[in-house]
Amino acid sequence: MEVEHLVKRFGPFTAVDDISFTVEPGELFGFLGPNGAGKTTTISILCTLLTLTAGRARVAGHDVGAEPDAVRASIGLVFQELTLDDLLTGEENLRFHATLYGIPRSELAHRMGPLLEMVGLTDRARDRVQVYSGGMKRRLEIARGLLHSPRVLFLDEPTIGLDPQTRTHIWEYVDTLRGEEDTTMFLTTHYMDEAERCDRIAIIDHGQIVAIDTPSALKASVGADTVTVSTSDDALARKQIIQGLGVEGELTTDGVRLRVPNGEAFVPRLFEHLTVGVSSVNVRRPTLDDVFMKYTGRDLRDAESGMGERMRMNPMVRSFRAR
Amino acid sequence: MATLDVAAGRLGAASRSGALSRNARTVAMVWERELIRFRRSQARIVTGLAQPLLFLVVLGAGLSKFVGNRGAAGVSYQAYLLPGVIAMSVLFSSLFSAISIVWDREFGFLREMLVAPVSRTALVLGKAVGGGSVSILQGIVLLVAAPFVGVHLTFLNVAEMILLLMALSFGLVSFGIVVASRIQRIESFQVVMSLVVNPMLFLSGAIFPLQRLPGWLGVAVKVNPATYGVDPIRRVMLGDKGALTLGGSVVPIWAEVLITLAMGSAMLALAVRSFRRTD
């Protein structure tokens, strides 16, 4: 997959502003960013659902503008919104998909069984999707996205709202698929452990790619541990730390959050300068959350669809944070 | 890079060889889906039958004394009305069948179809054939009322009628698709269709005979494309000589069918074009 100087404008609004990146065959590529950063627009262009304003994009070796059908035949999609037919059974949904992708009946029988097994829907395959729970629908959708063994699989928050056990199952299958069929994966997620699995991650914000590298390189780029100290008076503690150690902390609900190069060595010095009562100290190596925070100014979790927005809007939470 | 090219080549070749048969199977699959969905929505089946039967039984009985016997065959008003309500049923369900496209868009299923490596034309054809067959099925079921209103049909009559209903339906379904391709919300689709469906029905001769209409009404009836779909159905069912005159002479049935088919083809072409631009 090659994207060169991709631009997408909606009227005066630029949703994707000149992004370029390459995804190697067989790579698991993470595409992270806050809502409204241009993630969905980029995916829609790569899936031929939107046309691009400027630039070039090739998926599985085919130009998305010039050869949309060749691109469509090579990709599979698992979107965060459901795209199933409620009145059809699970099996009928899969059969419909198989027809669209030209999978012969004989082969369908071979592929459908193991996939239904993987997502734990073997017993329910003949029930209408109408009576499925949200998690079951999602699992069926994943099975369907994998049905035609695409060369490139787009996973747009594929496991959102699923229980940990099913998520583990799905990732096991995804790993197998990558091992056996060399499938390229393009993933968006708000789960840190899923982002951690990626070979490389791109972070997009305001329509531009602000960082692109392996998870470990990205974490190294943050270059600092996070020390969180909870005290009887966090505001005073923060002031004392600035005065005594020259480190500007950030007030959070957990206490004062500090970024320092060497967390363990910093803690004893911290105690020397604090006069308020300390209830807990936590030292953490950089995580992808910190990476995300550094480049977008937001938590990976906070950026989760709607959830973060609602939390911020909630007056209870706001007043709690203001204290 | 080399591995990518090999993989792409292999896949490209595979998809090329199967493109035609895949598109043909897609038409059949989209069609089958419409039939399955129809079979599973009982409410739709019941409402689809209730309205025409209400017209036939209540309106027919209520007006029959008042109207008297009609047409060259001298049949009762209820008998006269039967082909009308069958046409009405097909008219309604054909025009509204494309709501499934708006529906699919709202519930995401349209995307499943649009990202697939099949031609948009195959999807439209599947929708058109699917919507058409469901409408015709609803029309045919109404034939059970025939003996009760004194209409006796031969097997040939029924076969001819089915062909005529197909001709009528496919233009209307296509028109629905044109509207559905440009509309995002279910409510808007319903509003637009309601504005179309009632004038089309009342001006088609489905409810009242076309003879001796006031001048302006006569013109409106002749401009309405549905008229040329409804009249042949009545002629076949009732052995009527035809009531539609242009320039003093009765329009032959083949001309009516030709007009209907021409309108239908134009509409289908337009539907394919509109749907291509859907995203």
Residue window 4-63, chain B: list those with CB within 8 Å of chain A: 4-5, 7-8, 11-12, 15, 18-19, 21-22, 25-26, 28-29, 33, 36-37, 40-41
Domain identity same for A186 and A255: no
Retrieve residue A100's tokens.
């669209």
Residue A315: per-residue pLDDT: 36
Note whether A101 and A111 are within 8 A (CB).
no
B 209-268 → A contacts, CB under 8 A: none
Query: End-to-end CA distance of chain A, in Å?
Result: 48
Q: What's residue A29's pLDDT? A: 95
**Residue A3: what pLDDT?**
94
Provide the pLDDT confidence category of residue B85 given band limits of 50, 70 and 90: very high
Distance from CA of A102 to the nearest CA of B (A): 5
pLDDT in tens, A68-109: 889 999 999 988 788 999 999 999 999 999 999 999 888 898
Q: Please compute the mean of the pLDDT values over residues A308-323 and round it to a whole number.
A: 36
> Of the residues A179, A202, A218, which one is the last residue of a structural domain?
A218
Reported confidence tier of residue A302, pLDDT bands at 50, 70, 90? low
Please tell me whether residues A170 and A229 are part of one structural domain: no
Task: Find the mean pLDDT for residues B5-34.
Answer: 67
Binned at pLDDT 50, 70 and 90, residue B3 comes out as very low
Question: Domain check: are A126 and A191 in the same one?
Answer: yes
Chain B residues touching residue A92 (CB < 8 angstroms): 33, 36
**Exposed/middle/buried for residue B42 (C-beta within 10 Å: 0-12, 13-18, 19+):** exposed
Of A25, A72, A95, the CB nearest to B116: A72
- Give the pLDDT mean for A17-44: 91
Contact A45, A73 (CB under 8 A): no
State which residue of chain A sits closest to B276, comparing Cα positions.
A49
**Residues in chain A closer than 8 A to B8 (CB atoms):** 60-62, 70, 74, 151
Find chain B residues with C-beta within 8 A of A88's C-beta: 33, 36-37
CB half-sphere exposure, B11, CA atoms < 13 A: 25
The pLDDT value given to residue A208: 92
Using CB atoms, which residue from B4, B12, B36 is nearest to A70? B12
Which residues between 166 and 185 in chain A have a beta carbon less than 8 angstroms from any beta carbon of chain B? 182
Query: Strand A225-231's sheet: what is its strand order?
Result: A250-252, A255-260, A225-231, A278-284
Quick one: A274 and A125 in the same domain? no
CA distance A225 to A183: 35
pTM over 0.95: no
| Domain co-membership, A207 together with A231 | no
A151 contacts on B by Cβ (under 8 Å) = 7-8, 11
Å between A5 CA and nearest CA of chain B: 20
Mean pLDDT, residues B163-172 taken together: 92
Q: Is B145 on the interface with A (CB under 8 A)?
A: no
Q: What is the pLDDT of residues B141-158, one digit of tens each?
A: 998 888 888 888 889 989
What pLDDT is stored for residue A300 in this prediction? Answer: 72
Residue, of B126 and A304, whose pLDDT is higher: B126
Of B65 and B157, the structure prediction assigns the larger pLDDT to B157
pLDDT for position B107:
86
CATH classification at residue A316:
3.30.70
Q: Which residue has the higher pLDDT, B210 or B133?
A: B133
Q: How confident is residue B70, by pLDDT bands cut at 50, 70 and 90?
A: low
Query: What's the pLDDT at B196?
Result: 92
Contact, A210 vs A296, CB < 8 A? yes
**Residue range A198-257, pLDDT digits in tens:** 999 999 999 999 999 999 899 888 878 888 889 888 888 888 888 888 888 888 888 888
A250 vs A228: CA distance, rounded Å: 9
A 35-94 residues inside an 8 A Cβ radius of B: 47-50, 60-62, 69-70, 72-75, 77, 79, 81-88, 92
Q: How many CB pairs under 8 A join A and B?
A: 102
pLDDT given for residue A263 in this prediction: 83
A161 and A40 assigned to the same domain: yes
Q: Same structural domain for residues A213 and A232?
A: no
Q: Which residues does chain A have within 8 Å of residue B113's beta carbon, measured at their own beta carbons?
A: 100
**Cβ neighbours, 10 Å, residue B68:** 10
Given the structure tokens 């960013």, which residue do they identify? A33
For residues B102-137, one letter each, b for 16 or more C-beta atoms within 10 angstroms of the residue's C-beta and e for the rest, the string is: bbbbeeebbbbbbbbbbbbbbbbbbbbbbbbbbbbb
Average pLDDT over chain B, rounded to whole?
84
- Statement to judge: residues A169 and A285 lie in one domain: no
Strand A255-260 to A2-10 pairing? unpaired
Q: What is the mean pLDDT of residues A51-58?
A: 93
Q: What are the tens digits of pLDDT across the range A170-205?
A: 788 788 777 777 889 999 988 888 999 999 999 999
A194/A229 same-domain check: no
User: A132 to chain B nearest CA, in Å?
Assistant: 15
A313 pLDDT above the threshold of 70: no
Range of the domain at A303: 222-322
- In the predicted structure, residue B16 carries a pLDDT above the cut 70: no
Question: A35 falls in which pLDDT band (50, 70, 90)?
Answer: confident
Compute the distance between CA of residue A85 and CA of residue A93 in angstroms, rounded to an integer: 7
Q: How far apart are CA A73 and CA B13, in angstroms?
A: 11
Residues of A in contact with B36 (CB under 8 A): 87-88, 92
Number of domains composing chain A: 2
- Please give the Cα distance from B228 to B231 (Å, whole number): 6
DSSP B175-203: HHHHHHHH---HHHHHHHHHHHHHHHHHT
State whether A273 and A158 are in the same domain. Answer: no
Task: Write down which residue in A170, A194, A218 finishes a domain.
Answer: A218
CATH number of residue A144's parent domain: 3.40.50.300
Please tell me whether residues A139 and A203 are part of one structural domain: yes
Domain C-terminal end among A203, A218, A233:
A218
Q: How far is A240 from chain B (nearest CA, A)?
A: 55
pLDDT at A125 over 90: yes
* Amino acid found at A293: M
Interface check A97 vs B, CB under 8 A: yes
